[in-house]
Amino acid sequence: MLTWLAEPLRAAEIVLDFEQYNLPSDQYIYWPDLEHVSFETTLPWGPNYAVSRKRSLTDPIFYWANGDDTTVTIGGAGGSEQWLTVLAAVPGEIILIAPANTRFGSVKITNAALVDYTVRYGLYQASQFGPNDYLRVRFLALNADDTPTGAATDWIDLATFTASLSTLDEWIDVDLSGLQSDRMTIEMAGTDNDPIWGLNTPAYLALDDLIIHPADPPTTIVNSFVYHSAWSGPSSGPWDALDTSKTLAPSGPQAQTLGLENLINTIHGINGLVFDFDRLPDPSGLTVSDFMFKMSPQGAFDLALNPPESWPSVPVFPTVSVSEITSFDRALLQWPNQIIENRWLQVTVLANSNTGLAQDAVYYIGHLRGETTGPASGVYTVSFADISFIRESIGLTVFANGATDIDKNGVLAFADISAMRAHISSQLSNLTVP
């Protein structure tokens, strides 16, 4: 693999228009030392990118035969004199790399003159286009190890033949911001293919006005809460069911033993969670596929034999909805009642283009019906002490974070004792997580 190093970024936003390069008399230069963008290529032969200049073009074959296959007939974007042309049929053959902490923003593209000539008249092994033929291009984002991230632009037609031939003969804008990447590659696809060598139509693409933006800060999760979806107590707003007395325990570099603040005790089980995102890329694009849910065994299980990575998936997916809350986006996840009971729940918010997270975020929250007093010797046990704790508060009106309101109706009553009495002696092992 050949690598050309980029110069450091010098401005908040860079527009590469390729006008600053002094071209030789033949009016093109292969492998120029470009500012602010570098290239990697796996092609073992021949130049695969060049800066070229507008000239009086009457015969693209003449220029191609003399080595310049980068020409276009209309000059650069916006009437400029110069542009960049790349040879790229297969993803990874050429990789464009922006400086660290930047992202590709947009680029203008058009056909090279040689492509236009070939689809009109044919050239050597490449056929003249006929009905149903096409040539198209798209841009794909890459990870640091040059594997595709799954983000790509839509396919863009360079030449199509339906009732007649149509070719791209002007500069058009391509939005690259959805790639959310500082590394990208180019893929061209068409109908004229050799079974061994691939695309016969010349895979040249002209680029101009390549814009590089500073990277947006990564998305962060600023809050996480329990949400009691079956809350029926006093209500003065849409988020009265939030339980701010309980916290989801985030996984981190240091092991932590969870506590009563990470355990709820309602008759409904875990039926709602909230995550507040700062800088969520596309709130409407967040779905249940951006999360993973696993649950522990019930009872006093052996954590060494049942580590979180071995837990089964929750059998029912939650619904996911997103609301804008002041300066952040709130994702509400809701399950039916009693799907996740008397066990621990592990929630992973995946790092991907939908969440914008730089790495997966893992959280733990537990449930044991009626438990109010905390663990002893590493095990939570529902006991008559829990009944006494509830009895002391009979008659009080509470909000959703009331720890002794077992049925979550906002009133502490003997019904809360009845709701947990059948669970006397129920247990759940406490959890120590990374």
Instruction: Work out whether strand 94-97 and strand 38-41 pair parallel, antiparallel, or are unpaired.
Output: antiparallel
244's tokens: 């701010």
Among 31-45, 205-219, 375-389, which stretch is predicted with the lowest mean pLDDT? 31-45
CB 206 within 8 A of CB 242: no
Give burial (CB, 10 Å; 0-12/13-18/19+) of 2: exposed
Cα–Cα distance list, 168 to 74, 211, 231, 322 (Å)? 11, 21, 59, 40
Closest CA to 386 of 416, 431, 357, 413: 416
User: What is the predicted pLDDT for the residue at 10?
Assistant: 39
- Span 7-31, mean pLDDT? 73
Average pLDDT of the chain to the nearest whole number: 90
Cα(341)–Cα(242) distance, rounded to whole angstroms?
19
User: What is the predicted pLDDT for the residue at 1?
Assistant: 33
What phi, psi does 114 have (nearest 5°)? -65, -35
Q: Please, how many CA atoms are within 13 Å of residue 317, restricted to the half-sphere of its CB?
A: 9
| Range ranked top by mean pLDDT from 31-35, 216-220, 314-318 | 314-318
CB 328 within 8 A of CB 222: yes
9 vs 185: which has the higher pLDDT: 185
Confidence of residue 351 (pLDDT cuts 50, 70, 90): very high
117's tokens: 């000539």
With a cut of 70, say whether residue 6 has pLDDT above it: no
Q: What is the DSSP letter of 251?
A: P
- Span 170-195, mean pLDDT? 95
User: What is the predicted pLDDT for the residue at 385?
Assistant: 87
Dump pLDDT digits (tens) for 331-345: 999 999 999 999 999
Closest CA to 139 of 200, 101, 86, 199: 86
With a cut of 70, say whether residue 112 has pLDDT above it: yes
Cα(135)–Cα(434) distance, rounded to whole angstroms?
51
User: What is the predicted pLDDT for the residue at 89?
Assistant: 87
| Range ranked top by mean pLDDT from 22-26, 157-161, 253-257 | 157-161
**Cα radius of gyration rounded to whole Å, the chain:** 30
Contacts of 321 (CB under 8 A, 6+ apart): 331, 332, 334
419 vs 152: which has the higher pLDDT: 152
62 vs 76: which has the higher pLDDT: 76
Give burial (CB, 10 Å; 0-12/13-18/19+) of 315: exposed
Give me the amino acid identity at 130.
Answer: G
Cα(60)–Cα(302) distance, rounded to whole angstroms?
74
- Span 319-329, mean pLDDT? 93
Cα(180)–Cα(214) distance, rounded to whole angstroms?
11
Dump pLDDT digits (tens) for 255-288: 999 999 999 999 999 999 999 999 998 999 999 9
Cα(287)–Cα(200) distance, rounded to whole angstroms?
41
